[in-house]
Amino acid sequence: MRDGYVRFAKKYIEAHPEYKNNLSSIKASLISFGAREEEFNEAMRQITGLPNYSDQFSVSKLSFPKISFTSFKKTASATVAILAFISIGYTTFLYKPSVESTKTPLAITNNITKNVNTTSNNPIVPKVYANVAPIDSQRVFSFPKSSLPLLISSAPKKEVLGFFPYWMLSQADKIELSHLTSISLFGLSIDGKGNVITSHSDSQADGGWGMWKDPKLDSLIKTAKSKGLKVYLTFKSFNNTDIENLVSSDSAVQTFISNALYFVNSKNLDGINLDFEYIGSPTDNVRNGFTRLVINLNTELKRQIPTGILTIDTYIMSGSVRDLFDLQALSKNTDAFVIMGYDMHYSLGPPGPISPMGGAVNIIGLMQGYLEKVPPEKIILAVPYYAYDWPITLDSSIGSPSAAIISYAEIAQVSKVHNLIWDETSQTPSYKYTDKGTQREVHFENVRSLGIKYDFVSAKNLKGVGIWALGYDGLNSDLQRLIVDKFAN
């Protein structure tokens, strides 16, 4: 048992007083951070003073409300009416936008607080760190070109969705797209009123908005469509308060849907990707409010663009714990879930496999929770094209907050001078080295480990794979060739 983890678990539990009624969610979150079950149990014993803490606190049971809804209907006056009934307990939700709401307001907001992951009372580390950690795009493409040719004879038979982050736009003309079926532009930030964020309270411009206004984006979209790819737009929110305010307000939902469809239509895009990363356990009102938002958004998307696609990014843990995503309800109103199968060890925690197939917390086990609730043809498993480089501190049990995120392009080059360590349990590679007297440990994915994941996708007949993120392999074509070999040829 690692004392550092017990201390971390104890502090985490004490910071979440709702643990008394939601032990399973708290426990699952700690395990996702790298803690072991016995360390969670010891922390609970220290907090409660009881040999068997379950005698005092019971684990809450999950419930899935039944949802029914009517589709958007176009009236004679061209008014769009959204009617969604969701019966939850004694509450019924009725949402009808006014005539003015059909004018598609281009609502944008300046001076919004910079997005951070928080709970209502205290900040905690994000579940998915990689999505908010930009990589130096020029550095990525400074590494030597791969000598392996990329030969594509047919389109992939599975969905291959690549996320294109705004910080890679300057290198867009160097990024290969031919092995993909779709890309999602990452992304436009949304505030609690349903508006698009253009800048933050520190006067820093929002990166996603900068990409949207950059002429290079139009060139990227044109190139992708010329290759037969679908192009989606990611709308994202990583702030609990913003998410709570948005999904709890009829007018905010109305504004968001109007804006989302405006932006998609304005560049002739093919659909929407939602990346709402709520941290902690939401109230029933927030959880059900998010479901209502998705129902209304999907209905209006399909009304305006019958072939439009709606996908939702979810945590790898979401199939096993109660969080923002009511998978069974959302599945009826979503084309696919993009499961973020990474950051099971992350920059702010101890070193370990980023995307393990085996071990205490692993993809195979957690995916089973999804497969019990969602048809496999609606599941996309997203994989990491990055590594974490951790310094090993004296107290290695709790890791270090200063781990660096590194692109696959850099790993492919620098790992050549290190002896790779293959972990049979996690089925992932790593290596160790010393820099200026500090020992460091690097965990990443390569052709071998990703090939195992792609075989899993095929064996389970999942819809396909996602890539976080496009361009991270630089001029190296190994990972592109692997996708072609597994899904196309």
For 254-312, what is each residue's pLDDT tens digit?
999 999 999 999 999 999 999 999 998 899 999 999 999 999 999 999 999 999 999 99
In this prediction, residue 342 has a pLDDT band, given cuts at 50, 70 and 90, of: very high
- Considering only 375-379, 399-403, 457-461, which range has the smallest mean pLDDT? 399-403
For 343-395, what is each residue's pLDDT tens digit?
999 887 889 999 999 998 899 999 999 999 999 999 999 999 999 999 987 55
Q: Which stretch of DSSP H or E encloses residue 3?
A: helix 3-14
| Residue 65 scores a pLDDT above 70 | no
In this prediction, residue 9 has a pLDDT band, given cuts at 50, 70 and 90, of: confident
The better pLDDT of the pair 16, 54 is held by 16
Question: Taking Cα atoms as reference points, which of 274, 246, 250 lies closest to residue 260?
Answer: 274
Pairing assessment for the beta strands 84-88 and 67-69 based on DSSP bridges: antiparallel
| Residue 319 scores a pLDDT above 50 | yes
For 99-115, what is each residue's pLDDT tens digit?
333 333 444 444 333 33
Question: Taking Cα atoms as reference points, which of 45, 17, 41 lies closest to residue 30?
Answer: 41
**Backbone dihedral region for residue 351 (phi beyond 0: left; psi -120 to 50: alpha; all else: beta):** beta
- What is the rounded (10 degree) CA torsion for 274, 341, 388, 167? -30
Say what the pLDDT of residue 106 is. Answer: 45
Length of the chain: 489
CA distance 476 to 434: 26
- Considering only 83-97, 140-154, 180-194, 239-253, which range has the smallest mean pLDDT? 83-97
For 28-39, what is each residue's pLDDT tens digit?
667 655 567 788
CA distance 23 to 13: 9
Give just the sign of the alpha carbon dihedral 410, 415, 420, 421.
Answer: negative
